[in-house]
Amino acid sequence: MNTSQETPNPPCFSAVTSSARQLFNILRCVGFVSRAQVQISSDGIRVSVEDSRVMQ
Protein backbone atom coordinates (compact mmCIF):
# COMPACT_ATOMS: atom_id res chain seq x y z
CA MET A 1 0.00 0.00 0.00
CA ASN A 2 1.31 3.44 -0.92
CA THR A 3 1.18 5.74 2.10
CA SER A 4 2.41 8.89 0.37
CA GLN A 5 -0.31 11.31 -0.63
CA GLU A 6 -0.10 12.95 -4.02
CA THR A 7 -1.25 16.52 -4.38
CA PRO A 8 -4.04 16.68 -6.98
CA ASN A 9 -3.45 18.88 -10.01
CA PRO A 10 -5.40 22.14 -10.08
CA PRO A 11 -8.33 22.21 -12.52
CA CYS A 12 -7.59 23.27 -16.11
CA PHE A 13 -10.79 25.30 -16.23
CA SER A 14 -13.06 26.73 -13.58
CA ALA A 15 -16.23 28.79 -14.03
CA VAL A 16 -19.25 30.09 -12.17
CA THR A 17 -22.68 30.54 -13.70
CA SER A 18 -26.14 31.30 -12.42
CA SER A 19 -27.64 28.75 -14.83
CA ALA A 20 -26.15 25.47 -16.05
CA ARG A 21 -28.73 25.16 -18.84
CA GLN A 22 -26.33 26.32 -21.60
CA LEU A 23 -23.65 23.85 -20.55
CA PHE A 24 -26.25 21.09 -20.25
CA ASN A 25 -27.50 21.80 -23.80
CA ILE A 26 -23.96 21.68 -25.20
CA LEU A 27 -23.15 18.40 -23.45
CA ARG A 28 -26.45 16.88 -24.57
CA CYS A 29 -25.65 17.76 -28.20
CA VAL A 30 -22.28 15.98 -28.12
CA GLY A 31 -23.30 13.09 -25.87
CA PHE A 32 -23.55 10.69 -28.81
CA VAL A 33 -19.83 10.80 -29.72
CA SER A 34 -16.80 9.31 -28.00
CA ARG A 35 -14.56 12.35 -28.61
CA ALA A 36 -15.20 16.08 -28.78
CA GLN A 37 -12.88 19.06 -29.14
CA VAL A 38 -13.47 22.01 -26.80
CA GLN A 39 -12.02 25.46 -27.52
CA ILE A 40 -12.29 28.14 -24.83
CA SER A 41 -11.55 31.73 -25.82
CA SER A 42 -12.62 35.24 -24.94
CA ASP A 43 -15.37 34.87 -27.59
CA GLY A 44 -16.92 31.88 -25.79
CA ILE A 45 -16.83 28.09 -25.79
CA ARG A 46 -16.79 26.11 -29.05
CA VAL A 47 -17.45 22.36 -29.02
CA SER A 48 -16.76 20.34 -32.19
CA VAL A 49 -17.18 16.65 -32.96
CA GLU A 50 -15.85 14.49 -35.78
CA ASP A 51 -18.98 14.63 -37.91
CA SER A 52 -18.66 18.44 -38.20
CA ARG A 53 -21.61 19.37 -36.02
CA VAL A 54 -20.85 22.54 -34.08
CA MET A 55 -22.81 24.46 -31.45
CA GLN A 56 -21.56 27.81 -30.14
H helix intervals, 1-56: 21-29
Strand partners, 49: 36
Residues above pLDDT 90, as percent of the chain: 0
Task: Look over the chain and give the mean of its residue pLDDT values, rounded to a whole number.
Answer: 75
Q: What is the pLDDT of residues 20-34, one digit of tens each?
A: 888 788 788 778 778
What is the pTM assigned to this prediction? 0.45
Q: How far apart are the first and last CA of the chain?
A: 46
